Amino acid sequence: SYVLTQPPSVSVAPGQTARITCGGNNIGSKSVHWYQQKPGQAPVLVVYDDSDRPSGIPERFSGSNSGNTATLTISRVEAGDEADYYCQVWDSSSDHQVFGGGTKLTVL
Amino acid sequence: QVQLVQSGAEVKKPGASVKVSCKASGYTFTGYYMHWVRQAPGQGLEWMGRINPNSGGTNYAQKFQGRVTMTRDTSISTAYMELSRLRSDDTAVYYCARDHPVAGTSLFDYWGQGTLVTVSS
């Protein structure tokens, strides 16, 4: 089955740029989606189809995907961005959904 | 507006079954697949499977094959997830999530509030 690998944690100072990676075999050939989850809340979609943003998501959230790595970039990080972030793809070979293990973003 | 409202928390003994409901509103229930995702305490998201509310067709993650059953009642726009032969490691928050089809992929655009299922003797 397809596996997505994320770093367990990323730390960044307020105002700086956070980059969260999601690794997978030839992930660049798939569409990657990113979710933000704050404690005690359901996940929220922040980036879909590699780099598109749902309405209501700040432009500070962006994404890219190439080769074996997809990246969620959060510019001008704010305290409110502190959360867990998950990448997700649809594995067409099995028609199954796959999540990465999640990355805890800490704003210093 | 789209809303997914799940049933309340459950406490079950090992070996029992649990059935969680997810009532949809604000859209055409039969027009979108519904997925179930769970999250054990302090752990990540785990996809369990999905149901096509129109046909009733299902697709389950291999890990849950034989223990999970997803059904729906279109008359009340509600999806159900039943997990049997519960074990302590099934203790988790269970979410329903609506599928949003995008060309060549699928993702989850709306989520229920989650249902905590605790398995304890």
Instruction: Express each pLDDT in B21-40 by its tens digit.
Output: 999 999 999 999 999 999 99
Interface test with B, best of A5, A97, A99, A103 (most B CBs within 10 A): A97
Any idea of the CA torsion for B3, B31, B37, A87, to the nearest 10 degrees?
A: -100
Picking from A31, A45, A99, the nearest residue to B44 by CB comes out as A99
Task: Please give the full DSSP string across chain B, using - where no structure is assigned.
Answer: --EEEEPPPEEE-TT--EEEEEEEESS-GGGS-EEEEEE-TT--EEEEEEE-TTT--EEE-GGGTTTEEEEEEGGGTEEEEEE-S--GGG-EEEEEEEEEEETTEEEEEEE---EEEEE--
| Helix/strand/coil for A88 | strand
Would you call A24 an interface residue with chain B, using a CB distance cutoff of 8 Å? Answer: no
Average pLDDT (B45-66) is 96
* A68 dihedral zone (left: phi>0; alpha: psi -120 to 50; beta): alpha
Residue pairs spanning A and B at CB distance below 8 A = 61
The pLDDT of residue B102 is: 78
The pLDDT of residue A1 is: 87
Cβ proximity of A81 and A107 under 8 Å: yes
Residues of B in contact with A98 (CB under 8 A): 47
CA pair distance A29, A47, nearest whole angstrom: 17
In which residue ranges of chain A is pLDDT below 70?
Answer: none
The pLDDT of residue B103 is: 72
Cβ proximity of B83 and B112 under 8 Å: no
The pLDDT of residue B65 is: 95
Of residues A91 and B71, the one with the higher pLDDT is: B71
Average pLDDT (B51-60) is 96
The pLDDT of residue B106 is: 87
Interface test with A, best of B37, B107, B108, B110 (most A CBs within 10 A): B107
The pLDDT of residue B104 is: 76
Chain A nearest CA to B86, separation (Å): 23
Q: Do A45 and B109 touch (CB under 8 A)?
A: yes
Q: Are strands A83-91 and A103-107 parallel, antiparallel or unpaired?
A: antiparallel
**Minimal Cα distance from A53: which residue of B?**
B109
CA pair distance A16, B112, nearest whole angstrom: 32
Cβ proximity of A105 and A20 under 8 Å: yes
Q: Do B44 and A101 touch (CB under 8 A)?
A: yes
The pLDDT of residue A67 is: 97
Any idea of the CA torsion for A72, B60, B39, A23, to the nearest 10 degrees?
A: -30
**B47-56, B75-84, B96-105, range with the lowest pLDDT:** B96-105
Q: What's A77's DSSP letter?
A: -
Question: How many Cβ atoms from other residues are within 10 Å of residue A20's Cβ?
Answer: 24
